[in-house]
Amino acid sequence: MSIAAFAPTAAGHTASLGVFGHDPWWLSLVKCLVAFVFLVVTTLLMIWAERRVIGRMQARPGPNRVGPFGVLQGLADGIKLALKEDLIPAIVDKPLYILAPIVASVPAFLTFAVIPVGPVVSIGGHHTPLQITDLPVAVLFYLAMASVGVYGIVLAGWSSRSPYPLLGALRSSAQVISYEVAMGLSLAAVFLYSGSLSTSAIVASQHKLWYALPLIPSFLMYMVSMVGETNRAPFDLPEAESELVAGFHTEYSSLKFAMFFLAEYINVTTVCAIATTLFLGGWRAPWPLSLIGNDTLNHGWWPVLWFLGKLFVLLFGFIWIRGTLPRLRYDQFMRLGWKILIPFSLVWILVVAAFRELTNEGKSRLTTLMYVGIPIAAIVLIWSFVTEARINRRLQQEQDRLQAAAVSQRDAYPIPVLAGVPSMDVPAVASTTDDGPEVLDD
């Protein structure tokens, strides 16, 4: 298997996928098992940590009975779910209904195959990278798996044949595809810099500078869209319990429900791992530590520690956001995705490209800033004028409307006429006085 032949050899970084594909079968199996166990254990710990942390944030202890500090809570929940009755409503489309949790959880596992956890190490006499495999299009593989995962959700909602799951599934799919656009666009800037779609090459190209620093807007957009993509608070509209009971998995119980739960948490872990890989230097040691010795901390098994550290910080961010922000309304949420993130990321890509091109041509920093900055300043200026004009026009319209209403509906209710409230005519009560309500005169 020589995927090296397809490796993109864009100028700048030569992606070396040659180290992949030489593992004996048992080594691949070991790596896969480790990844699998890691994901399941992370999920169990994450469930516990989330409840503990949110508990603390809300000034209550959270689960603290099962095991030390309640750390076995996730496991206990899993066992409890396994011993619950497996309800299947009579109306469901049974094959799809049973298939859905599998379709949701398998792609979630698969994405982790392309996450680089560490550099090349020696295991049992074999030199092998700490990554299950890598592809020339690894990030594309990640995006593809994220999309396939949606099928599980859609199938679950569709096959349940019940209103709440259907609505949850629809919301979820609309949400995921909307934020996938924003996510895809935010990643393009990274590829501009790395010149490769393979995750190990992207980590390798960050040896000087993590992409989160020069590409801060991309990083922030990715952070927002990864929360949207995984249906997590404050974007957890598909399972908004105050509106949709439990969303797409309302009709699921027992371990089928647990599968959706597992898939969600694995997806959270995966998007965090991708954020680490693409923006935070992957397994590379954080700045002051990377200076120690002769790059010692970037070799051997040390990098696993840095990778896990970054991953857990991001996971904590997920919990933190959930404990802090209220859920968005659906129209606000879609507006954020389509009207803010997408145009902004399109413009940002052009800015990055222009900047990079001018730097490549050897222009001085000042010239580059001028070439890139002046058009942006012009756009922002024009945009602010347009926005201001629009706001003024809207205010003017509102005022005109109010005045017109005040003149024409002296006897209307409510008094005074309120903006946004439809006023209705009240049959004129025998008007005894003629000095109408003075308050209405402006």
Partner 1 sequence: MIPILILAIIGGGFAVFSIVAGSLAGPKRFNKAKLESYECGIEPSPQAFRGHRFPVKYYLTAMLFIVFDIEIIFLYPWAVAFNSLGMFGLVEMVLFILAVFVVYAYVWRRGGLEWD
The distance of closest approach from Cβ of residue 48 to partner 1 in the complex, given in angstroms and rounded to an integer, is 19
CA–CA gap between residue 33 and residue 22 (Å, rounded): 18
- Between residues 103 and 315, which has the closer beta carbon with respect to partner 1? 103
- Between residues 104 and 280, which has the closer beta carbon with respect to partner 1? 104
The residues pairing with 122 across neighbouring beta strands, listed in sequence order, are: 127
- Between residues 102 and 426, which has the closer beta carbon with respect to partner 1? 102
The distance of closest approach from Cβ of residue 203 to partner 1 in the complex, given in angstroms and rounded to an integer, is 16
- Between residues 22 and 207, which has the closer beta carbon with respect to partner 1? 22
Q: Which spans in 238-364 are helix H?
A: 241-244, 254-279, 287-290, 302-324, 330-335, 342-360
The conformation of residue 427, written as its DSSP 8-state character, comes to P
Q: Which spans in 12-136 are helix H?
A: 25-57, 73-82, 94-111
- Between residues 109 and 318, which has the closer beta carbon with respect to partner 1? 109
The distance of closest approach from Cβ of residue 174 to partner 1 in the complex, given in angstroms and rounded to an integer, is 5
The distance of closest approach from Cβ of residue 287 to partner 1 in the complex, given in angstroms and rounded to an integer, is 26
The distance of closest approach from Cβ of residue 357 to partner 1 in the complex, given in angstroms and rounded to an integer, is 5
- The b/e string for 201-221 (b: 16+ C-beta within 10 A; e otherwise) is bbbbbbeeebbbeebebbbeb
The distance of closest approach from Cβ of residue 282 to partner 1 in the complex, given in angstroms and rounded to an integer, is 18
The distance of closest approach from Cβ of residue 222 to partner 1 in the complex, given in angstroms and rounded to an integer, is 14
- Between residues 166 and 297, which has the closer beta carbon with respect to partner 1? 166
- Between residues 73 and 159, which has the closer beta carbon with respect to partner 1? 159
The distance of closest approach from Cβ of residue 276 to partner 1 in the complex, given in angstroms and rounded to an integer, is 19
What is the number of alpha carbons within 13 Å of residue 45 lying toward its C-beta?
Answer: 10
Exposed, middle or buried by CB within 10 Å (0-12, 13-18, 19+), for 198? buried
Parallel, antiparallel, or unpaired for β 118-123 and 126-130? Answer: antiparallel
- Between residues 30 and 54, which has the closer beta carbon with respect to partner 1? 30
Tokens of 293: 């010795």
Tokens 């797409």 found at? 248
Residue 40 C-alpha from the chain's centroid: 20
What is the number of alpha carbons within 13 Å of residue 258 lying toward its C-beta?
Answer: 18
At residue 196, φ and ψ (nearest 5 deg) are -160, 155
- Between residues 302 and 330, which has the closer beta carbon with respect to partner 1? 330
Of 44, 12, 338, give the one whose Cα is nearest residue 193: 12
- CB atoms < 10 A from the CB of 314, how many? 21
